[in-house]
Amino acid sequence: MITIDSHRVASETTPLAPVGVLKKPKTPLPKFQIGILMMLHVTEPIASMSIFPYINQLIRELGITGGDDAAVGYYVGIIESLFFVMQSLTVLKWSRLSDRIGRKPVLSIGLLGTCISMLCFGLSTTLWSLVVSRCMCGVLNGNAGVSKTVMAELTDSTNMAQGFVLIQVFWKVGTFVGPLMGGVLAHPQDSWPGLFASSFWRKYPYFLPCAVAAGFVVLAYFMLLFFLEETLSTKRRPKTSVTGGDDVDDREVLAQKSMADMPMRSLLTPTIVIPIVNYAMVCILDISLRTLTPLFFSTPMHLGGLGLGPSSIGLWLALFGIMDGLLQALFFAKIVDWVGPKRLFCVAVSCFIPVMLMFPMMSWLVQTRGIVDHAITFALLGQLVLTVIWGLAFGPIFMFITASAPAKNVLGAINGLGQTSASVARAIGPVLATSLFALSKEHNLLNGNAVFFILIVLAGVLMWLASQLPDEMQVRDE
């Protein structure tokens, strides 16, 4: 039985309701609006992850490493971190701005920024042009936090799990489509010489996957423009009250605006901070895993990697994404109802340690056997299963963060705080992981596997943080 935290202070207009005290019927999801929101949401992983299969090869082709394959990791980490560095500096401002001017304007700016930056990335032929395009994308993109806020405003306590799992499902769809598209469409002049014989494609061999990703973003932008309804209550047309008329609505709007303008310091309570810190730790480990996987796959076998090409890397990453998405779509809501959000989160984060242990095991196998054979394939499939379970950590922590908000009118700020911490973590993660990977290989630290054991220690810290989450989760209903 779920209990109520007596120390929690709730808004009178948005009282907190404990989950499970009274079994209420589930509210039907507003399918059309959530469908539009998910079309916007899926474009970010498509755009960001489409570069993963070829970014290592791109860095080598630019010639900035001087032929040192072990040093590729340093530059890849910088490129992949820049987006999150810039996003961490601006995402909270975008989220707070969405509490004032509405969700749609901020989402539209984010989509346009992603589109322009992807086209610039595809036309980049120097390290600095890559840097500028990634920075541009990070500065103009606050959509990750705002889209979670919109989802929270479209759902209530009875259908929150169903709504938030869709965020993860469509993110995983993006992690499937993005790498597959990036791996298949890179160097189109080699794959389809009859269609891409122009010298343009030899000068810009990675423009096609970037242009296709930008096309998805443009489609999402027009869907937002014409079909998505504003969810911020102060920007929706007020309903006339029978008893109080427009005066009641005006007073509610003023109260909501006052809540939206409350200082950020007042939101830094343990109830809010603990889920956000957990989210940050999940993000730093997850982005480290997402960055290390293609780097490990592409690293030559004599350095302990698998020596795979962009096409094979794209297919493996796509398989990871689709299996993760299927598990989330089919079972997440049922598992949450069965074991509860905290227990599911704790089980999911505990899988990160064996995921990391699979890397040195595969490195040992490939160095012992000298080829990528069936043993490596079975190890990759085992790692896939563990990674899919690890991916279940995001849904529960999104629910904890949403439930920590004292009122819906500060959801933008709360999600902005969460996304800021996530962006900082995702900025640190790639640089940390790839630099440690390069150091491990260059200096043969722990037989080249020191990076994996350092991340295992961080996973132990996350398991402790998970235990600090409240046993029972509270949610608001209007």
- CATH number for the domain spanning 401: value is 1.20.1250.20
Confidence of residue 1 (pLDDT cuts 50, 70, 90): very low
13 assigned to some structural domain:
no
Whether the pLDDT of residue 261 is over 50: the answer is yes
Whether the pLDDT of residue 157 is over 80: the answer is no
158 assigned to some structural domain:
yes
Q: Are 165 and 329 in contact (CB under 8 A)?
A: yes
102: left (phi over 0), alpha (psi -120 to 50) or beta: left
Q: What per-residue confidence (pLDDT) applies to 353? A: 94
pLDDT tens-digit readout, 448-474: 788 889 999 999 999 999 998 988 776
Whether the pLDDT of residue 302 is over 90: the answer is no
Q: In the beta sheet, which residues pair with residue 16?
A: 476
- Among 55, 462, 84, CA closest to 285: 462
Rounded to whole angstroms, how far apart are CA atoms 475 and 452?
A: 37
Whether the pLDDT of residue 61 is over 60: the answer is yes
Q: pTM score, two decimals?
A: 0.69
3 assigned to some structural domain:
no
- Among 167, 210, 198, CA closest to 52: 210
Q: Give the total number of structural domains in the chain.
A: 1
55 assigned to some structural domain:
yes
Range of the domain at 55: 29-236+246-472
Whether the pLDDT of residue 65 is over 80: the answer is no
395 assigned to some structural domain:
yes
Tokens representing residue 234 in the block: 């102060």
**Mean pLDDT, residues 79-87:** 79
**Mean pLDDT, residues 378-398:** 88
11 assigned to some structural domain:
no
pLDDT tens-digit readout, 171-216: 878 877 888 898 889 999 988 888 888 889 999 999 999 999 999 9
Supply the mean pLDDT for the chain: 80
